[in-house]
Amino acid sequence: MSFRVLGTGRCLPERAVTNAELERFVDTSDEWIRQRVGVAERRVCTTETAADLAAGAAEAALQMSGVAARELDFILCATITPDDLSPSLACMVQSRIGASCPAMDVSAACSGFVYALETAAAFFARGRVKKVLVIGAERLSRIVDWSDRNTCIIFGDGAGAMVLEEGDNYLASKLTARGCDAVLKIPAFGGASPFWEGGVEKPYIRMNGQETFKFAVGAMVSDLEEVIAAAGLEPEDIAWVIAHQANARIIDAAARKLGIPFGRFAKNIDRYGNTSAASIPILADELCRDGHLKDGDYIALTSFGGGLTSAACVLRWGP
Ligand code: UT7
């Protein structure tokens, strides 16, 4: 027993920030960002908190699913930018939507949403849950160094969610981790004690873009090949690949190697940038609400990011 997806939801901050606006902060251009990353604008919180976004996405997913918050047996929230380290973002969502079940955050950077789906699958397999809410929510604008053109042009804020119910539609999955802080790192926020003899790093995203790029393409290709085969499918059986939206060129490079038609790689990075753990459920919700996901479709999710981590899975859509 694993699960099936009952419904999806998303919530984005109101404020859209264009590339032209970023030209005021850093030495960049709209043309460079569109060509090298594929982003035209991203959403950035002005008054919204991560809990606002996460609860908004959760409520939309519950409404689509016809599930009441009190029916939930577990809430998992994938995030690296909770408003507070404690309470967890998942606990704040639980309180905001009026649920009473256990709740916890999952930290696996941009791979977090698929890591959280796998965690949910383990609870379903144990027979401990009937309905689970899984959220990916980020307020990355808090941890972006707005003077670093290598990162501030990429990231955005947002949240997406799925409501899962017992079923057999989680067909195959793969998680990887390779502990390494040299390529992608976000130091935790914190001061120093009077006894600490080391330095204190600023809590901003630091990224070696080219190394991350290479890791991302390799991970996407090998993870997808493996999960599609493990699901007993061929690449051409996949109706949609919902890939983490980090850079449009990463998705195109992986698509070329995989032999899945380009048109089946969904994209919304042009409007939202890279929203880390939120990017997959936001995109899934757009596809679902626009009527692109049909019952019986095989959907592949694939993600990669800090850790370094990667995660992929194959789902059958519908009942
Ligand atoms: O979700 C977490 C995982 N993160 C990712 O997956 C990010 C993966 N990496 C990337 O998306 C890309 O590596 C970046 C978008 C970060 C950078 O793109 P790139 O094509 O790898 O650029 P680059 O670092 O190789 O730089 C190429 C040129 C350089 O100029 P020269 O040396 O050729 O004259 C840079 O100085 O582009 C310049 N450059 C920029 N120019 C305008 C670098 N950043 C910018 C910028 N605006 N923002």
Which pLDDT tens digit goes with each residue over 100-119? 999 999 999 999 999 999 99
Question: Is the CB–ligand 1 distance for residue 25 below 6 Å?
Answer: no
Pocket perturbation via mutation, ligand 1, pick of 22, 31, 35, 36 by most ligand atoms within 8 A of CB: 36
Residue 172's identity, in one-letter code, is A
Question: Is the CB–ligand 1 distance for residue 150 below 6 Å?
Answer: yes
Residue 163 is predicted with a pLDDT of 98
> What does the pLDDT look like over 61-81, one tens digit per residue?
999 999 999 999 999 999 999
In whole angstroms, give the CA distance from residue 208 to residue 210. Answer: 6
Residues of the chain above pLDDT 90, percent: 94
Distance 82 CA to ligand 1 centre (A): 27
Residue 150 is predicted with a pLDDT of 95
Active site residue 274: yes
Question: Is the CB–ligand 1 distance for residue 282 below 6 Å?
Answer: no
The residue ranges of every structural domain in the chain are 2-168, 172-316
Question: Is the CB–ligand 1 distance for residue 267 below 6 Å?
Answer: no
Question: Is the CB–ligand 1 distance for residue 305 below 6 Å?
Answer: yes
By the 10 Å C-beta count (0-12 exposed, 13-18 middle, 19+ buried), 179 is classed as exposed
CB distance 70 to 63 below 8 Å: no
Read off the pTM: 0.97
Is the pLDDT at 315 greater than 80? The verdict is yes
Instruction: Specify the residue for token string 């309180």.
Output: 95
Question: Is the CB–ligand 1 distance for residue 253 below 6 Å?
Answer: no
Confidence of residue 301 (pLDDT cuts 50, 70, 90): very high
CATH for the stretch 172-316: 3.40.47.10
Whether 2-168 shares its CATH topology with 172-316 is answered yes
Domain 2-168 has CATH 3.90.79.10: no
- Catalytic option among 77, 91, 110, 313: 110
Residue 107 is predicted with a pLDDT of 97
Distance 185 CA to ligand 1 centre (A): 17
User: ω into residue 87 within 30 of 0, thus cis?
Assistant: yes
Residue 259 is predicted with a pLDDT of 85
Is the pLDDT at 199 greater than 90? The verdict is no
Minimum-distance ligand 1 atom for the alpha carbon of 37: 15
- Catalytic option among 19, 169, 247, 274: 274
In whole angstroms, give the CA distance from residue 98 to residue 175. Answer: 32
**Residue nearest atom 18 of ligand 1, based on CA coordinates:** 36
Which of 71, 284, 19 lies closest to 162 in space, CA to CA? 284
Question: Is the CB–ligand 1 distance for residue 309 below 6 Å?
Answer: no
Minimum-distance ligand 1 atom for the alpha carbon of 149: 48
Active site residue 247: no
CB atoms under 10 Å from CB of 185, counted, come to 14
Residue 198 is predicted with a pLDDT of 87
> What does the pLDDT look like over 240-284, one tens digit per residue?
999 999 999 999 999 999 989 999 999 999 999 999 999 999 999
